[in-house]
Amino acid sequence: MTRNARDIIIRPLLTEKLTEMRESQRKIGLLVRADANKVEIKKATELALNAKVEKVNVMNVGGKARRIGRMAGKKPDWKKAIVTLKPGEKLEIFEGV
């Protein structure tokens, strides 16, 4: 089954640490589907963002335990991808106009 690039990439991650990494190391952070692998993430990023990808690192992030009064619960687990762009590549969506 082939999936659309928009199905694999859920949204970009915008944190202070990832902003610093984007500016200094050409890395962007993405929230991706939990069942996506590195090859799918690389192809989806190149298709959706029109940028050449050098490397993809992925990590599974466990959801935090939360309480509301007596009720205990857990946030869902999710997968984060750190995508390194090739030298000279820039993304217009992150660049100031």
Confidence of residue 85 (pLDDT cuts 50, 70, 90): very high
- pLDDT at position 90, please? 78
Whole-angstrom distance, CA of residue 97 vs CA of residue 90: 13
> Domain residue spans in the chain?
5-85
- Mean pLDDT taken over the chain: 91
Which is nearest to 75 in space by CA: 85, 87, 86, 63?
63
Segment 44-57, tens digit of pLDDT: 999 998 999 999 99
Which is nearest to 54 in space by CA: 64, 66, 46?
46
> Sign of torsion, CA 9 15 19 25?
negative
CATH architecture of the domain 5-85 equals 2-Layer Sandwich (3.30)
